[in-house]
Amino acid sequence: DATIYRFKQAFEYFWRRTQRCLRYHGVQTSSPQEAFRFAKNREWLTDEGIWDRMLRDFNSNVCSFDADS
């Protein structure tokens, strides 16, 4: 549970930080999918596959973690 919690916190921090950087450059986003898509288009992310897997893992872990509560 602690590992999932740390992963969730790190992922939330990263996507929110990406969102802030995009907003600074005039791009409004409202979800991690949008933020990562724009970051990929701007070539801020070098390995698309890892971010796609992290997003998928985040979504599946958050849903299962919330269901266990």
pLDDT in tens, 5-48: 888 898 899 999 999 999 999 999 999 889 988 998 999 988 77
Q: Name the band, by pLDDT with cuts 50, 70 and 90, for residue 2.
A: confident
Q: What is the pLDDT of residue 47?
A: 79
Distance CA 69, CA 53 (A): 24
Q: What 3-state class would DSSP assign to 69?
A: coil
**Where would I find the H helices in 1-69?**
2-24, 32-41, 48-68
Q: How far is it, in rounded angstroms, from Cα 51 to Cα 49?
A: 5
pLDDT at 62: 61
Is the entire prediction scored with pTM above 0.85?
A: no
* Residue type for position 25: H
Return d(Cα 38, Cα 29) in angstroms, integer.
Answer: 9
